[in-house]
Amino acid sequence: MIPLTVPQATVFGTLLFVLVLLVHGRIRYDIVALLALFIVTLTGVVGWDQAFLGFAHPAVITVAAVLVISRGLQNAGLIDLIARWLSRFGDEPALQVSALTGLVTVLSALMNNVGAIALLMPVGTRMARRSGRSPAPLLLAMAFGSLLGGLITLIGTPPNIIIAYYRAEHAAGPFTMFDFTPVGLGVALAGVLFIVSVGWRLVPRRAGRAPQEHLFELGGYLAEIRVPPDSRFEGRSLADLADATSDGVTISLLERGGSGRSPSDPGLMIAPGDILVVRGNVRALQSFVDQTGFELEIGEGRTGRPAVPGETALVEAAVREGSPVVGRTVIEAKIGADLGVDLIAVARRGTQPNERLGGLRIGVGDVLLLRGTRDALQEAVRSLGILPLVERGLRIGEPRRVVLAVGVFGLAIAGAALGLVPVEGAFTMAAVAMVLLSLVRLSEVYRSIDWPIIVLLGALIPVGAALESTGGAQLIADSLLGLEGYLPVAALLVTVMAATMLISNIINNAATAVLMAPIAMSLAGGLGVSADSFLMAVAVGASTPFLTPIGHQSNALVMEAAGLRFGDYWRLGLPLSAIVLAVAVPLILLFWPP
Give the residue, 218 or 118, on which the prediction is more confident.
118
407 three-state secondary structure: helix
Confidence grade of residue 305 (pLDDT, cut at 50, 70, 90): very low
Task: Number of helices (H) and strands (E) in the chain: give both, helices first.
Answer: 24, 9
Q: How far is residue 105's CA from residue 31's CA, in Å, rounded to a whole number?
A: 31
Give the residue, 374 or 204, on which the prediction is more confident.
204
With CA atoms as reference, report the closest residue to 223 among 317, 325, 316, 354: 354
Instruction: Give the CA diameter of the chain.
Output: 88
- Residue 453 parent element (H or E): helix 451-469
Would you say residue 533 has pLDDT above 80? yes
Residue range 468-508, pLDDT digits in tens: 788 776 777 777 766 666 678 889 999 999 989 988 887 77
- Mean pLDDT estimate for the chain: 79
Confidence grade of residue 246 (pLDDT, cut at 50, 70, 90): low
Q: What is the DSSP letter of 329?
A: B
How much is the pTM?
0.60
Cβ-based burial of 516 (10 A; exposed 0-12, middle 13-18, buried ≥19): buried
Q: How far is residue 306's CA from residue 293's CA, in Å, rounded to a whole number?
A: 17
Would you say residue 213 has pLDDT above 50? no
Q: How far is residue 95's CA from residue 185's CA, in Å, rounded to a whole number?
A: 22
Q: How far is residue 121's CA from residue 566's CA, in Å, rounded to a whole number?
A: 19
273 three-state secondary structure: coil
Return the bridge partners of 237, or none. Answer: 269
Q: What is the DSSP letter of 303?
A: B
Specify the pLDDT at position 394.
34
CA dihedral sign of residues 230, 233, 237, 241? negative
User: Which amino acid is it at 296?
Assistant: L
Would residue 390 be called left, alpha or beta, if left means φ above 0 and alpha means ψ between -120 and 50 degrees? beta
Specify the pLDDT at position 303.
42
DSSP 237-271: BHHHHHHHS-SS-EEEEEEETTEEE-TT-TT-B--
- Alpha-carbon distances, residue 502 vs 95, 497, 516, 568, 583 (angstroms): 32, 9, 12, 17, 17
Would you say residue 396 has pLDDT above 50? no
Q: What is the DSSP letter of 397?
A: P
- Can you give the three-state secondary structure of 158-224, one letter per residue? HHHHHHHHHHHHHCCCCCCCCCCHHHHHHHHHHHHHHHHHCHHHHCCCCCCCCCCCCCCCCCCEEEE
Specify the pLDDT at position 207.
33
Specify the pLDDT at position 315.
81
Specify the pLDDT at position 447.
76
Determine how many CB atoms are found less than 10 A away from the CB of residue 182.
16
Give the residue, 295 or 84, on which the prediction is more confident.
295
Specify the pLDDT at position 464.
75
Residue 371 CB contacts under 8 Å (≥ 6 apart), including other chains? 306, 312, 313, 314, 341, 342, 344
Residue range 118-158, pLDDT digits in tens: 667 767 776 776 677 788 899 899 999 999 999 999 888 88
- Alpha-carbon distances, residue 262 vs 22, 267, 296, 390 (angstroms): 42, 11, 20, 33
Residue range 68-77, pLDDT digits in tens: 887 787 777 6
pLDDT mean over 396-414: 78
Q: Are 360 and 371 in contact (CB under 8 A)?
A: no
Mutual orientation of helices 113-131 and 553-562 as an angle, nearest 10°? 20
Measure CA 318 to chain center. Answer: 11
Q: Are 449 and 70 in contact (CB under 8 A)?
A: no
With CA atoms as reference, report the closest residue to 387 among 76, 94, 139: 139
DSSP 41-89: HHTTSS-TTTTTGGGG-HHHHHHHHHHHHHHHHHHHTHHHHHHHHHTTS
Q: Are 66 and 493 in contact (CB under 8 A)?
A: no
Specify the pLDDT at position 148.
96
Q: Which domains does the chain have, with CATH numbers?
A: 6-51+78-208+450-591 (no CATH), 221-297 (3.30.70.1450), 312-390 (3.30.70.1450)
Q: Are 516 and 480 in contact (CB under 8 A)?
A: no
Q: How far is residue 164's CA from residue 173's CA, in Å, rounded to a whole number?
A: 8
Specify the pLDDT at position 352.
58
